[in-house]
């Protein structure tokens, strides 16, 4: 029971062994070890949890790829949230992480490229789309074909419109699945993978207003920033937090423009959040 409280025993994407009962229903006998899991920390309910984020919610297990969808405008892209998604993605074990920038018709192309250039420089796969005009839709369809994918991002970025552009009615079908989910201390998401007509499966998530990192200690955070990690070994102190320590190679790289200041600030913000969370235990 304690295991069920701290994490999802089975989640969408899990490979399981079942036994078929006499009444035609099935029972899960075993859940195989996961190759990857995109997760977030969820607040427990009631007095026992005291409102703290101490339970893992597995968004999807064993996905081939994760697509993080953000808008070029309306809403203005929240790069701190994007960095949060990328850290979660790096921690998940999912091999392919793709950043989808939607609503490109609402902003000047030069401005869009300038805003997202640091992420292209980091080597992240980028796709610029407009569901209304069909830009990038064929490429997105090909990316999803014959793969198990998770399609997630903040609210209002046009995920439903993109899904409907990929496959008529797909956004509505996914939303119907999402509306059936339940959350709580002893429950898992009542969700499923949606089969695509082109082959493959898609796990969509409702628009996320927050994504609390799971299973990352403050001292480990720098390893999940792909631009910061290469400099860590060159810091004077092995336990350097990259805040105000002398001989910090990370801060030196920020000053030299080798690490984007916005990314460094995201690191500091996330580290402060993790330190506050771990101080409670």
For the stretch 154-167, what's the b/e string if a residue is b when 16 or more beta carbons lie within 10 angstroms of its beta carbon? beebbbbbbbbbbb
Write the CATH number of the domain with boundaries 35-204. Answer: 3.40.50.300
CA-CA distances (angstroms) from residue 35 to 164, 191, 203, 221, 281?
30, 20, 17, 21, 29
Check if the beta carbon of residue 225 is closer than 8 Å to that of residue 216. no
Handedness of CA 161, 164, 169, 171 (dihedral sign): negative
Q: Which two tokens stand for residue 113?
A: 């490229």
Write the CATH number of the domain with boundaries 218-278. Answer: 1.10.40.50
Angle at Cα 56 formed by Cα 60 and Cα 84, nearest 5°?
A: 75
Question: What distance lies between CA 160 and its chain's CA centroid?
Answer: 17
Per residue of the chain (281 residues), give pLDDT as tens: 344 456 678 888 999 998 998 888 888 889 999 999 999 887 665 444 444 546 888 999 999 999 999 999 999 999 999 999 999 999 999 999 999 999 999 999 999 999 999 999 999 999 999 999 999 999 999 999 999 999 999 989 999 899 999 998 887 655 544 444 433 333 334 457 899 999 999 987 765 667 889 999 999 999 999 999 999 999 999 999 999 999 999 999 999 999 999 999 999 999 999 998 876 55
Residue 1: CB atoms within 10 A of its CB come to: 5
Q: Where are the beta strands (DSSP E) in 114-196?
A: 125-128, 147-152, 194-195
The full set of domain ranges for the chain reads 35-204, 218-278
The span from the CA of 252 to the CA of 262, in Å, is: 15
Model confidence, pTM: 0.85
Check if the beta carbon of residue 223 is closer than 8 Å to that of residue 231. no
């Amino acid at each position: 029971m304690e295991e069920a409280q701290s994490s999802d025993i089975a989640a969408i994407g899990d490979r399981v062994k079942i036994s078929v009962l006499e009444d035609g229903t099935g029972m899960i006998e075993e859940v195989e070890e996961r190759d990857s899991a995109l997760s977030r920390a969820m607040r427990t309910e009631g007095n026992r949890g005291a409102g703290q984020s101490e339970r893992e919610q597995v968004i999807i297990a064993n996905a081939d790829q994760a697509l993080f969808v953000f808008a070029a405008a309306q809403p203005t892209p929240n790069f701190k949230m994007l960095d949060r998604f990328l850290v979660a993605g790096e921690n998940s074990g999912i091999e392919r992480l793709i950043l989808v920038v939607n609503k490109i018709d609402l902003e000047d192309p030069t401005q869009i490229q300038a805003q997202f250039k640091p992420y292209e420089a980091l080597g992240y796969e980028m796709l610029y789309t407009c569901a209304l005009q069909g830009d990038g839709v064929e490429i997105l369809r090909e990316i999803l074909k014959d793969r198990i994918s998770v399609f997630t991002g903040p609210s209002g970025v046009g995920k439903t419109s993109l899904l409907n552009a990929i496959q008529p009615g797909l956004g509505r079908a996914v939303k119907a699945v999402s509306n059936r989910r339940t959350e709580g201390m002893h429950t898992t998401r009542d969700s499923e993978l949606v089969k695509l007509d082109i082959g493959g499966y898609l796990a969509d998530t409702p628009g996320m207003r927050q994504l609390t990192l799971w299973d990352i200690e403050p001292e480990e955070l720098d390893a999940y920033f792909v631009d910061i990690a290469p400099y860590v070994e060159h810091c004077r102190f092995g336990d350097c937090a990259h805040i105000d320590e002398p001989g910090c190679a990370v801060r030196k790289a920020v000053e030299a423009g080798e690490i984007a200041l916005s990314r460094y600030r995201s690191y500091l913000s996330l580290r402060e959040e993790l330190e506050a969370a771990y101080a409670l235990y």
